[in-house]
Structure 1
């Protein structure tokens, strides 16, 4: 049985490596899903080039804002002649100093060059007042480069942009590779296009009259269905020969915040000409996978003969490289194959003490958890023992979900007995419990159902899409954090347990969650998905009512109107009295539906509780 499990694990690793290799061979300009303000260390977020002589004329899109609201000001920002910008955008000279509507899209002609190993448009920017790299990259230049890139290009300026300093600004761009991008119609320009909330592929593809197929190909996105793309990120719009024009597209209803609607592509007749190429590519893929399977079989045969299995030690954290003029290093996950693209920042204790005011009570936001700011990034810093630290890092290296709070870095103690610290992102709007506790909280019904759906998809991922499957075991409104776009993220995931575990097998440092907990967990220590379902039901009750003082008795009393205890016709009256007073407008039918769902989730009998798949089907109809 152990051999079969090992074979299965190695096969998964080999398939993953093969997939990575194939993806690398076919990629044009891989889409980076991290938003502008993210300081996550993502490998090669800039677009690589091969020759220092590689350059091209291209365009980028900029949107007018309160500080750069005329063609004159926008042109000066990009060091361009305003007459040239007016001509490109088909505007008359009267627009030279005319105030543009907020969000007005302006095409900027730029020279894109291969500088070092990256494509970029090199600009300079004089700082007028003390500010941060994030404000410049995401505010002034509206996401056309990352704060991390700006910091790397201006190491001599320190961690902040001081007033009077002049910064080197490498704006994102790219040149099409005529040798590799062999489609039925050649691409001459790759327009740098920053995605904003409310964009969807149909809208911005229509603006430039291009095919969805070309757009997906040049950004290395899946086509059917189109890969999800996110606000505050950058894509390339592939265009043939000019003139370049932005067409007027009527506004469509905005999609839910945080992700963009995708539409199926209708393949035209010209695309069928390349079908033979796709068949040939499929054959090559099949052959490579066959070789992978054959190699894995031979490798397992060799393992049986020697009866020796080599594995990576979970105590090793090798350093990849050390940037200059900083105490930060990069660390690779202990499990190299599972976490092949996962690596962490290694912080010094001095950095964390400075960020938390020496771990003061003022910065404390939970048991051994502190908030702080490191390199202008708001973070949560959690103290724990070395053994627990290794467990959390190992688990985070194996899971990847947009609704999980990101682990950014680690600070190791001087010895095995010393405290270690894990550094997590701190979403802008804090924890859900604090948001609900505000007297006039901004969480309307739509935002609450969206948050519930976000957390449901995250728990579903742990239950059904991970190997082995995990139970979070500590789902609560205090472990759910809210982003700037009012999306939910689940924290404390690194302490999740495989569903085969029991309480007796748990580490002594793992505490029983506070608050209302599934009865079977307290009685028998059973670790199962149903424990998470119960906890999720309590979160639903908090979202509906705004309350946080539930225990077994008060919960049943509160739900009496759903248990047949209310007189006929007063069910809706009971529901209205149960609802959060801050909710001024909500669909009564959806509120009743969500209340019944919460009631089923917190049933004493685990067998009566729904699965997370059932829960998602209900919530999907509300978001």
Structure 2
């Protein structure tokens, strides 16, 4: 360990004396400038032909599209060279989303910084942040784009017909310091899951060359939506066959929670073989059961001829027609397979009809409404939640719930199929008896929600989110965490409601966003539509503030403004006094002040604008586990 630390220090010293350009670890969305935000130059006459890496996306799907974005006009020879460099046969060939494209650019030294100026016509309803970090995938920081076009307003949504922008794309030319022995410095944007080792394998160069050229320490940590310079002695050639994992969509910050390993091929084959054998054995068992049931029925029928007084009871459980994906029939009571085995074979649901649900909710009266299109009702003497949903989304929701099963997630019990989206379908969920967290916090008469129960609720919510983020295949993000979507059981334990299902961007899936998100929207989701676990963490931070204060988050600023004392923004009184003023008065000061401060600091970290500054769900659980 001591040797590694010493090696790291030595490597840092070597890198500092050798490299001129720096790596900027701050996010593309950050409003701060750091060394490496722009690559510096020493001579105004410096200019070179170099390259950058861009990734195909839904707006730029071909080499021709990418060339147009960067204003590249190629003669026939250069055109063929570009195709060869990117290992494609036609400039109109549709590329896989996330596929890397090598782009030639002319890099020049302007005002002490290297840059390749690209002209871009920004459409209406956009911003500098979306252009820099979305369209140009972090090849320029939004603060740099704003500085270069400082005569423009930050929000361009009110500009008719689009606005002509100059985009100073990051680039650099080799010199005697930063590029000694190299002919090219290729600008490479990191995405989630990238690191310098992977970049070195893609370009087939020693990773130490990358560290030196970027003034990086030994084995550095790098972040998505940042750039690095790749030093090369020849024109770039990417190893396109190299795939560590499926590439996430550019412009977003997904998290690869469950990696797909390519190294366990033998184990995978073994699983497949075992599955095939298991299917045959299961089929044989079912055939045997069918023959057994048939024999029993025949025996009973013959016996009934002689004993007419014998009456067989009937099974009254509801059943639904088979659909693709998870089965939706309740387990029959005369099955010869054990309930545990059947639970592993089929995901069981009850089927309800619209008359039952209408009666259960008193014709969907307003007083039975819990939230948007969600009603409380009573079916078979048990309280349930009934959610109206589009007919076309029904199977997808069932598929999601067939993959998740956790004590802190509200369970799906049944479905009422509609004929189309006009009539709609209905989902029937369990109803935790104490209702929503918001109702409990708003009801001053609820004296049972003491401090220790609030910390337990926070821990339950974090545990449910951790399960969705890390323990499901594929991993899911909720995307609709708020106090109205969290329910409390009779023992004041929290359950997350997953009322919707929609495939999200990147490597995670959005499972809770059908309906309004209210005021719990993370900045990156609002601006870019990003779907990642960090969006859930932002919303979790808002819920923590509600647990502490008892107040409802009705807009994007109310609770954050209330927390200014943690950032040194308070003008009167000490930190603890201001915290006491912020805490829910219903607690009547019956709480550990140190725990309250710790929870407030955690909440503030969760609602940071910069996703890189938000804690992970692992870190959150470690903090909360000390309080419960």
TM-score with structure 1 setting the length: 0.47
For CA contacts below 8 A with separation 6 or more, give which structure has more relative contact order. 2
TM-score with structure 2 setting the length: 0.47
- Find the structure with the greater CA-based Rg: 2
